[in-house]
Structure 1
Amino acid sequence: MFSDSFLEKIFDKVKRGERVTFDEGVRLFETEDLIGLGYIADFVNRKKNGNIVYFNINRHINPTNLCINKCQFCAFYRNSLDEPGAYEMSVEQIIKTLKPEVENGCKEVHIVGGLHPEWKFEDYLAIIRGIKENFPELHIKAFTCVEFDHFSRISGLSIEEVIDKLKEAGLGSVPGGGAEVFSQRVRRILCRNKISGERWLEIAEKIHQKGLKSNATMLYGHIETYEERIDHLDRLRKLQDKTGGFNAFIPLSYHPENTELEKRLNIKGSTGIDDLKVIAVSRIFLDNFKHIKAYWVMLGKKLAQTALWFGANDLDGTVVEETVTYMAGYKTERKATIPEIVNLIKTAKRKPVERDTLYNTIREY
């Protein structure tokens, strides 16, 4: 069945319900048997989720790209409003942007953005309050662990107090960005000013302890090694063992165009083969995560559809306007319609299910 005999050992392990080790995870990335790797990942996924592939009707809002972190991999950030492409949105602009989407059935707003050099914590709370007051039924998934840390520093509040105030304002769950790769070596080069991987995990744990679900991500395809990828997945798996608070894992394919990292190191980003490997290895290694997302915004819709045969069981959602990847020169669409997503899932011979943010079924197709 497998051209790489090592995969036979892994397949036997997962059939017995045994956990893949760190070294085995690294070896999975090294295999040249892509189809065999996908077969195992698909087997694991079907045991967890059957034939179902989820999506949701959501809208991304990136309130500002002014940011003090200056990450080397990021084409999104600007230092000041004087720079070309810099922007900031008022609460009124955000409400105006969301109104037609909510009227057309949007169930979730996903909010991440830069660490604005002048905004106070109250400004971010005002965004959440404004959305909740105008759209009380809309689920608000907002702010990464990096942003939570920023809120704590600019307000003088503890992380626990920050979480409490955001929950009181209407926060429903937390996205998984800012994790990048937890390796200290990688972060020194990619995002020296960003919180450490340890701090990201610490804040995620506190979020879970406060009763909020979150997602987890990994940015790959730049300077990281296979060992650093597995180290990242292993730390997520350990925290999930402890809290059970992660909804989904979302691999994020690095897009180098217009970034400082591309200029310095001439990095080209991941290939389609690597994208599928990351999805598959994540599904096999993260045995305590039920959902693996093929984020079509970064993969492209056709490769995201293919990933449904390599362990993914979620295509994210309609998105409408994602700015972070777009500013890194990505050329695919920024929006997906419901019929388009349903067609992608059905033609992959899977069953489309519209979900809410917490994976409750809204509609089966």
Structure 2
Amino acid sequence: MDRGEIEELLKRDLWELGSEAWRIRSKLYGRVTTYISSMVLNYTNVCVIECEFCPFWRRRGEQDAYALSVEEALRRVLEVDAKYGLRQVLVQGGINPDIGIEYFEELFRAIKSKAPHIAIHALSPLEVDYLARRERASWREVLERLREAGMDSMPGGGGEILVDRVRREISPKKIGSEIWLRIMEEAHKLGIPTSATMMYGHVETQEEWAEHLWKIADLQRRTKGFMAFIAWNYEPAGNPLGRRVKYAKTAATLLRVVAVARIAFTGESFIPHIQSSWLTNGPEAAELAMYFGADDFGGTLYEERVLESQRRISPIGTREDVVMLIERAGFTPAERDNWYRIIS
């Protein structure tokens, strides 16, 4: 699909979109919905990027600013693993000038040494770019060092909307869309699989949704490196952008984006998995999203802190909660690993 075709898709009747996305999803996966037992390791909340939409970041020296030592970070991973049993740890945090690449190399090696069954889904193009500049190295060199230390895959953090007009307004210090895409391409060339993301519902237009989706589809056509696409709703609470964008989009917007993604990411631009995104939209919307093309429910997200207020009000606490919600929606739950292979 070209940009114009995706734009037209976004304007179609929601139920027509859902019907077409359901047909594709059913053909691919039947009524199976996957999930993973995962935790989020937010290793620091100190961040010099200071995005308008983020409630998590703090400046150095603020009272509640923190940076975990390697020992403390490892201890948290092992404690959660002992309690729940983990398949994946998602490592993400702020851009902290005091943390260099050696921190991640030591942390990843420690995790692999103590818990080799846990896949490391780590960092983002933004963090890779920062480390490259800090170490005076290329993106490729940084990615190779991280992979050698134990990084298995890379999440799509920092994608938001891949249109520079939008990025200048909500995160002016963040890398541009072209750099985000180039770092993802470099990861794919090295055999590091990644996720693609989209944060909608703030200052962007529907035409810019189409541009974002088209850029992801175009890269996937060339590299085949994206394992999954994950969209989520911007939440206005607790961040500066919320003073201008006061209301979150409804669940219907999630269903539209999920359905269009399932239809658009086919053919040469095929992305195998579409996640239903329960954290910002709630479990009921995530259940509905499975009827609009999503085949993966995401992770348990133990210890998630970036959207901590949302996490507190969610009834999802364990893998048993996830299984119950998938079954309640009329689907067959299947636990997966980091690479979306079904393991039980």
Query: Normalised by the shorter chain, which TM-score bucket?
Result: over 0.9
Return the letter of the residue paired with 1:267: K
| Distance in 2, Cα, partners of 1:36 & 1:43 | 11
Show the counterpart of 1:10.
none
Map of 2:69 onto structure 1 = 90
Report the Cα distance in structure 1 between the residues aligned to 2:2 and 2:187, rounded to whole angstroms.
27
Q: Matches of 1:247 and 1:283 in 2, distance apart?
A: 13
Matches within 5 A, 1:190-339: 190-263=170-243, 265-287=244-266, 288-326=270-308, 332-333=313-314, 335-339=316-320
Q: Are the equivalent residues in 1 in contact too, given 2:40–2:304 (CA < 8 A)?
A: yes
Whole-Å separation in 2 of the counterparts to 1:267 and 1:117: 32
Give the deviation of 1:102 after TM superposition: 2.0
Residue 81 of structure 1: CA displacement? 3.4
Aligned twin of 2:139: 159
Map 1:101-120 → 2, pairs under 5 A: 101-103=80-82, 104-120=84-100
2:202 touches 2:245 (CA, 8 Å); kept in 1?
no
- Residue of structure 2 in register with 1:187 after alignment: 167
> Which of the numbers 25, 28, 31 marks the counterpart of 1:48?
28
* Residue 71 (str. 1) matches residue 51 (str. 2): yes
CA distance in 1, matches of 2:75, 2:22: 42
Provide the identity percentage. Answer: 35
Residue deviations 1:16-44, cap 9 Å, x none?
Answer: xxxx442232233233x322221111111
C-alpha displacement of 1:196: 0.6
TM-score w.r.t. structure 1 length? 0.89
Between 1:114-123 and 1:205-214, the stretch displaced more is 114-123
How far 1:330 moved relative to its partner? Answer: 6.2
User: In the aligned structure 2, how far is the partner of 1:306 from the partner of 1:332?
Assistant: 19
SS in 1 for 2:292: coil
Q: Determine helix, strand or coil for the equivalent of 1:40.
A: helix
Unaligned 5+ runs, structure 2: none
Aligned to 1:25: 6
Aligned residues, how many?
340
Runs of 4+ more than 3 Å apart: none
Alignment partner, residue 124 of structure 1: 104
Query: C-alpha distance in 2, partners of 1:215/1:99?
Result: 25
Deviation digits for residues 138-159 of structure 1 (CA, Å, limit 9, x no counterpart)? 1111000110001101111111
- Compared with structure 1, are the counterparts of its residues 334 and 184 closer, same or farther at alpha carbon in structure 2 (3 Å cutoff)? farther
Distance, in Å, in 1 between the alignment partners of 2:2 and 2:321 is 38
Cα separation, partners in 2 of 1:41 and 1:55, compared to 1, 3 Å: same
Match of 1:355 among 320, 336, 340: 336
Rounded Cα–Cα distance in structure 1 between residues aligned with 2:316 and 2:186: 33
TM-score (norm 2): 0.95
Secondary structure, counterpart of 1:216 in structure 2: strand
The match for 2:37 is 57
CA pair 294-23 structure 1, distance change in 2 beyond 3 A: same
